[in-house]
Amino acid sequence: MLIDRKRRNNHLLYLAGCLVFSGGAYLFIHSDLGTDPLDVFALGLLEHVPVTVGVSQATVAAICLAVVAAWTRTRPLLSPLFTFFFCGSLIDLLRWSDPARGLPIPSPGVLACAVLMCAYGSALIIMSGFGIRAIDLLALTMTSKWRWPFWASKGIIEASLMAFGFLMGGPLGIGTICFLAGVDLLIQPLITANSRVFRIPNLGLPECSVNPAR
């Protein structure tokens, strides 16, 4: 019974994380100030290869999962692919309904909300231990193997995607820089805050929890 309750709570945490992250990603698009590094890469690739954004992003996700599987000598996880399609569908739904249309909030304010929501949503998904996004999963593996801070591991991956995407002709804006700096730097502190203040179990990055040895 206790195990079932914990599993149910983790799935609810994951669902909340996906909803919050997707809302933040929608606000990034709504702000019209720049896309996240993965989209910079995907849109840059489109300048040279006749594929869709979805295929480009799925390819990056598959490569990340393959690297993690080879590095850890385990089977590739499929749950991050579900997260990819689930969050993508939520973002499409939000773009279609456009709930932020007409709100009296300037673009910089929308961008600030987007940063906070994407960071907090990512933190919740990681803490749930289920369906961790492929880039975050690779960053967690780098953190575990090399003892790097999570923000540094994730920052290197996304800065590389941003740089290659920009060189291929992808759009780069202030929103991209805010995502790279703001979201990546905030995830780990938000995980720590959730553990210490709300006592939320942390299955994805346990070294940020309160007294993780207990």
User: Which residues, given as ranges, of the chain have pLDDT below 70?
Assistant: 1-8, 205-214
With 0.75 as the threshold, say if the pTM is over it: yes
> For position 141, what pLDDT does the model report?
93
> For position 105, what pLDDT does the model report?
87
The three-state DSSP-derived secondary structure of the chain is CHHHHHHHHHHHHHHHHHHHHHHHHHHHHHHCCCCCHHHHHHHHHHCCCCCCHHHHHHHHHHHHHHHHHHHHCCCCCCHHHHHHHHHHHHHHHHHHHCCCCCCCCCHHHHHHHHHHHHHHHHHHHHHHCCCCCHHHHHHHHHHHHHCCCHHHHHHHHHHHHHHHHHHCCCCCCHHHHHHHHHHHHHHHHHHHHHHHHCCCCCCCCHHHCCCCCC
> For position 164, what pLDDT does the model report?
94
